[in-house]
Amino acid sequence: MSLRIHQDHSRFKQIVRGKIKANLRKYVQKGEMVGKKGKDAISIPIPFIDIPHFKYGHKEQGGVGQGDGEVGQQLAPGAVQPGEGQQAGQGEGDHVLEVDVTLDELAQILGEELQLPNIERRQNEKIVTQKIKYTGVNTTGPESLRHFKRTYKQALRRQIAMGTYDPSRPVIIPTREDRRYRSYKLQDLPETNAVIIYMMDVSGSMGDEQKEIVRIESFWLDTWLRHQYKGLEARYIIHDAVAREVDRDTFFHTRESGGTMISSAYKLCRDIIKADYPKSAWNVYPFHFSDGDNWSADDTRQCIEMLRDDIIPGVNQFAYGQVESPYGSGQFIKDLREAIGDSNNVALSEIADKDAIYTSIKDFLGKGR
Amino acid sequence: MPKSLTPRLSKLKEEIEGHALEFGLDFFETVFEVLSYDELNMVAAYGGFPTRYPHWRWGMDYEQLSKGYEYGLSKIYELVINNDPCYAYLLESNSEVDQKLVMAHVYGHCDFFKNNFSFRHTNRRMIDDMANHATRVRRWIDKIGVEKVEDFIDRALSLENLIDQHAPHIRRNPDPKKAEDELKANERVEGFKVNREYMRGYINPSEFLDSQRRKVEEEKLRTRKFPERPQRDVLLFLLEHAPLEPWEADILAILRDEAYYFAPQGQTKIMNEGWASYWHSTIMTRRALKDDEIIEYADRHSGTMGTRPGALNPYKLGIELWRDIEDRWNKGRFGKEWDECDDLRARRSWDKKLGAGREKIFEVRKHYNDITFIDTFLTAEFAIEQKLFVYGFNEKRNSWEILDREFRKVKNKLLQGLTNFGQPIIEVVDGNFENRGEMLLTHRHDGQDLKGDYARETLRNLQSLWRRPTSIITRYDGKSVMLRFDGQNHTERKIEL
């Protein structure tokens, strides 16, 4: 159900996010609401817009309170709320409230903030599911689809017309002809499927900070792609000198050591795609994060061949993010740039530190593929 | 959308209404509607009305209310609007005890709306007018564009509190004595002295006399102040004299109408909530409650009456004051004899068995507003019993603390907060300031400074309506200051008065 106020509401949210009416931005203030989640108190900030009036400075104002306490005793922090009291006639609760953000809203904000284009679907509408859609009313049909209201109306109309309707004893008896049934059509609903394949280098040179960066970045990528595709799948691959598929938790928390052979991950990635995600039915997004310090030039060559021949033709976009580690940034991204940098479904990005995540997300998602 | 009452609820309504009538409450016909929480939040965000003009601030209120509800932090129990018939809303998911309590509470409000003098001049068909306002604004939006209209509303809302809170009850005539003088002055134009009566037509021809009269009038116009007397209804002054486009004037008039409609509710918050709470408590505990409902009722009631140190709960203060008045008039604790009695023991056991309490509170609910109510009936005993105190901000410790529990100070602070209903008194003193069509306001300083950044922003908004520079004279730290905004820059200078 849609309420009239939803228009006002979405307009308010747009103002707060700074999408429209920049002149009001300076009046946006941060409120705080203390909620409870289990035993913990949680606080989520919520903005509100305070239109300026001629009014008293709050600090000078003070006021009258009620309760125990000696003169000179401090009031509990938060006991005094700025602003006027609530309007007359509105029951309990004078809390300053806050807003939470759903992941979908977050993705919208992300999209607006980074001006990300919506993704062009590649293999769209190849798989089709059928859905039932009720389209009208019919005189025949199964009893389970009987339209009670329409049947009643029909019977009422007939009885009045026949003169058998008695207002003092308004009994309506539908006959076979009065019955009305919902009719439906089967509709083809195109379905789009998407999968993200995360690959991360967990060799000795990837420290906690680097993994933190990967985690944050993949959270945002995940949020955005989920916003674009319903039913997004994710697969996780970690690799040092060998690659293996793991679950999400392991992906973010493992610390291995050893050398780096990127080709192992690409090989696994290629196999996964081949086995589970045929090009005709899936939008595939491999993301690979590494510090770029590959074992040998030979392995790099193998990687490039695999990317060019097998992976890139079958995916929407291949993305490689090179995280700078304490040991410096590797050679790998340069090799990739030379070999496949100009193909238009490859995104390469160097992430120097946490602040660079912002631009890196834009590098990855800015192409709208 | 709104549902009418279920048979069960209409039975409850009849029952509660019966109790209310029996107790002597006098109200407009009251229509209850049942809403889901989402709808109730919407209506509450609209200030109790089903439709308002489109504006983002309703959305802001709606967000606060609905998040509060969804997190289980707050919930609207009762919502009623001053209209004939009165409309009140019930939350679909409330328990039966809650519904009864709300109904009883609502009848208290309805009685107050109908009988208290502050509401005498309010529009009792506001529900229709609000819908018309919405339609008018929407029409302007279609014609002018949403951005322009909304910007204008934003700016006008910034001035929304600049109305004359007392205006509905008095007529602020221009000075009658002065008007008389003026009339006389007009007749006094006599021309040159004439010795021979037959020469009059030649010495003072009528064209000459007319031109003389015109001169005098012009002279007067030039020296006449504009406005003649300081004008508190700044919105009206703008409507009458600012160079507004027709659509701007229309919208400003709408906002002014609505501000006047809501003003009395701000002026009687303590009384009104107290009165409604007094009656829900009386009706529920004396008549309507069943045995198994008492705990739930008590829980709900105490929730509404809860206090916290830094804020005054109008429900609590109100209900206690009403009960105190009833008690005092029941026992005859008023008048000269009572005031002059110093014997503590006698005072404590004072009971003349007058039984005039009920009658008294019905009389009080008619003729008082929050200021006069507190001023007349808040006694030292009451302040002590209710543990009232004054708090203030301690700059050194950077925290709020209890300053004083002395009765005079508590009462003064309370009254100060209610003077002009908590708003600073601002007047237009000159609409042709410096003889350049600028607007000059003064703030009647009563010991509290204005919030400076807000004042400057408000001046800016005022300037955009007046189209000429605007200034306000106020005081900061005891020194008179004039803030001015000329359309480009803010300036501030000290002035001597």
Quick: pLDDT tens for B215-244: 877 777 666 677 878 888 999 999 999 999
Q: pTM here?
A: 0.67
B14-66 residue pLDDT tens: 999 999 999 999 999 999 999 988 889 999 999 889 889 999 999 988 888 88
Q: Do A91 and B57 touch (CB under 8 A)?
A: no
Looking at the domain assignment, is residue A305 inside a domain?
A: yes
Element housing A252 (H / E): helix A248-253
Looking at the domain assignment, is residue B218 inside a domain?
A: no
Looking at the domain assignment, is residue A69 inside a domain?
A: no
Report the residue of B42, B51, B71 to disrupt the A interface, i.e. the one with the largest count of A CBs within 10 Å.
B71
Q: Which two tokens stand for residue A181?
A: 């049934």
Task: Give the separation between CA A192 and CA A174, rounded to whole angstroms.
Answer: 46
Q: Do A8 and B58 touch (CB under 8 A)?
A: yes
Residue linked to tokens 């203060």: B317
User: How many residues are there in chain A?
Assistant: 369
Main-chain dihedrals φ then ψ at residue A231, nearest 5 degrees: 65, 50
* Whether the Cβ atoms of residue A202 and residue A255 lie closer than 8 Å to each other: yes
Q: Helix axis angle, A357-365 relative to A208-228, nearest 10°?
A: 40
Same domain for A234 and A321, yes or no, is yes
Give chain B positions within 8 Å (CB) of A85: 269, 311, 314
Same domain for B255 and B345, yes or no, is no
Looking at the domain assignment, is residue B224 inside a domain?
A: no
Across the interface, of B316, B448, B472, the residue whose CB is closest to A56 is: B448
**Nearest-CA distance from A326 to chain B in Å?**
44
pLDDT attached to residue B278: 96
Look up residue B175 and give its amino acid: D
Across the interface, of B312, B314, B402, the residue whose CB is closest to A75 is: B402
Task: Give the separation between CA B208 and CA B122, rounded to whole angstroms.
Answer: 52
Three-class DSSP category at B289: coil
Task: Give the separation between CA A277 and CA A284, rounded to whole angstroms.
Answer: 8
How many domains does chain A divide into?
3
Q: Please compute the mean of the pLDDT values over residues A58-67 and round it to a whole number.
A: 71
User: Quick one: residue B430, left, alpha or beta (phi over 0 = left, psi -120 to 50 = alpha)?
Assistant: beta
Looking at the domain assignment, is residue B344 inside a domain?
A: yes
Same domain for B45 and B154, yes or no, is no
Q: Which two tokens stand for residue A247?
A: 């679950």
Contacts (Cβ under 8 Å, ≥6 apart) of B254? B53, B133, B136, B137
B73-124 residue pLDDT tens: 677 778 899 999 999 999 988 899 999 999 999 999 999 999 999 998 889 9
Same domain for A294 and A215, yes or no, is yes
Report the residue of A33, A43, A44, A51 to disrupt the B interface, i.e. the one with the largest count of B CBs within 10 Å.
A51
Q: Where are the beta strands (DSSP E) in A213-353?
A: 232-239, 243-246, 282-290, 318-323, 346-351
How far is the CA of A181 from the CAs of A131, A173, A174, in angstroms?
19, 16, 13
Same domain for A175 and A44, yes or no, is no
**CB contact A281 to B (< 8 Å):** no
Contacts (Cβ under 8 Å, ≥6 apart) of B67? A33, A46, A97, A98, A99, A100
pLDDT attached to residue B173: 58
Across the interface, of B65, B400, B458, the residue whose CB is closest to A53 is: B458
pLDDT attached to residue B326: 95
pLDDT attached to residue B331: 92
Same domain for B378 and B446, yes or no, is no
What is the average pLDDT value for chain B, to the nearest integer?
A: 87
Same domain for B88 and B69, yes or no, is yes
Element housing A35 (H / E): strand A28-37
How far is the CA of A124 from the CAs of A229, A280, B273, in angstroms?
11, 9, 61
Looking at the domain assignment, is residue B181 inside a domain?
A: no
Looking at the domain assignment, is residue A28 inside a domain?
A: yes
Task: Give the separation between CA B389 and CA B373, rounded to whole angstroms.
Answer: 19
Burial of A199 (0-12, 13-18, 19+ CB in 10 A): buried
How far is the CA of B273 from the CAs of A94, B30, B108, B270, B317, in angstroms?
15, 18, 9, 5, 9
Identify the CA nearest to B179 among candidates B230, B218, B229, B233: B229
Task: Give the separation between CA B278 and CA B357, rounded to whole angstroms.
Answer: 13
Identify the CA nearest to A367 among candidates A323, A315, A322, A331: A315
Same domain for A356 and A219, yes or no, is yes
Same domain for B314 and B287, yes or no, is no
Looking at the domain assignment, is residue A92 inside a domain?
A: no
pLDDT attached to residue A14: 81
Q: Do B157 and A51 touch (CB under 8 A)?
A: yes
Looking at the domain assignment, is residue A152 inside a domain?
A: yes
Looking at the domain assignment, is residue B176 inside a domain?
A: no
Report the residue of B258, B412, B451 to disrupt the A interface, i.e. the one with the largest count of A CBs within 10 Å.
B451
Identify the CA nearest to B23 among candidates B302, B284, B370, B293: B284
Looking at the domain assignment, is residue A310 inside a domain?
A: yes
Same domain for A199 and A180, yes or no, is no
A246-290 residue pLDDT tens: 888 888 777 666 778 888 889 999 898 888 888 777 888 899 988
Last residue of a domain, one of B256, B280, B299: B299
Same domain for A169 and A308, yes or no, is no
User: A158 pLDDT exceeds 80?
Assistant: yes
Same domain for B51 and B13, yes or no, is yes
Same domain for A229 and A359, yes or no, is yes
- By C-alpha distance, the chain B residue nearest A14 is B56
**Nearest-CA distance from B220 to chain A in Å?**
34
Looking at the domain assignment, is residue B193 inside a domain?
A: no
Q: Do A64 and B312 touch (CB under 8 A)?
A: yes
pLDDT attached to residue B121: 87
**CB contact A4 to B (< 8 Å):** yes
Same domain for B389 and B434, yes or no, is no
Same domain for B24 and B110, yes or no, is yes
Highest mean pLDDT among A45-59, B20-34, B299-313, B423-437: B20-34
Last residue of a domain, one of B400, B419, B438: B419
Same domain for A354 and A268, yes or no, is yes
HSE-up (13 A, CA, CB side) for residue B345: 0
Highest mean pLDDT among A299-313, B176-190, B316-330, B342-356: B316-330
pLDDT attached to residue A230: 72
Q: Do B423 and A55 touch (CB under 8 A)?
A: yes
Highest mean pLDDT among A28-32, A109-113, B47-51: B47-51
User: B453 pLDDT exceeds 90?
Assistant: no
Same domain for B101 and B161, yes or no, is no
How many domains does chain B divide into?
4
Q: Do B154 and A57 touch (CB under 8 A)?
A: no
Q: Please compute the mean of the pLDDT values over residues A61-69 and round it to a whole number.
A: 77
Give chain B positions within 8 Å (CB) of A74: 394, 397, 399-401
Looking at the domain assignment, is residue A255 inside a domain?
A: yes
Same domain for A136 and A230, yes or no, is no
Look up residue A161 and give its amino acid: A
Same domain for B457 and B410, yes or no, is no
Main-chain dihedrals φ then ψ at residue B189, nearest 5 degrees: -70, 110
What is the average pLDDT value for chain A, to the nearest integer?
A: 77
- By C-alpha distance, the chain B residue nearest A90 is B79
> What is the domain range of residue B433?
424-494
Contacts (Cβ under 8 Å, ≥6 apart) of A342? none
Looking at the domain assignment, is residue A98 inside a domain?
A: no
Give chain A positions within 8 Å (CB) of B44: 90
Looking at the domain assignment, is residue B219 inside a domain?
A: no
Same domain for A236 and A283, yes or no, is yes
The size of the A-B interface in CB pairs under 8 A is: 261
Quick count: other Cβ atoms within 10 Å of Cβ B11? 11
Task: Give the separation between CA A261 and CA A266, rounded to whole angstroms.
Answer: 10
Same domain for A282 and A342, yes or no, is yes
Looking at the domain assignment, is residue B206 inside a domain?
A: no
Main-chain dihedrals φ then ψ at residue A234, nearest 5 degrees: -135, 140
Same domain for B333 and B368, yes or no, is yes
To 5 degrees, how large is the angle CA B457–CA B461–CA B467?
135
Task: Give the separation between CA A342 and CA B247, rounded to whole angstroms.
Answer: 57
Same domain for B135 and B261, yes or no, is yes
* Whether the Cβ atoms of residue B200 and residue B209 lie closer than 8 Å to each other: no
- By C-alpha distance, the chain B residue nearest A97 is B64
Q: Which two tokens stand for residue B271?
A: 């009384």
pLDDT attached to residue A88: 29
Same domain for A168 and A267, yes or no, is no
Q: Do A64 and B309 touch (CB under 8 A)?
A: no
Last residue of a domain, one of B380, B402, B419: B419
- By C-alpha distance, the chain A residue nearest B110 is A89
- The DSSP output letter for B260 is H
Q: What dihedral angle (degrees, nearest 10) is formed by the CA atoms of A62, A64, A66, A67?
A: 50
> What is the domain range of residue A173?
130-189
Task: Give the separation between CA A238 and CA A245, rounded to whole angstroms.
Answer: 6
Percent of chain B with pLDDT over 70: 93
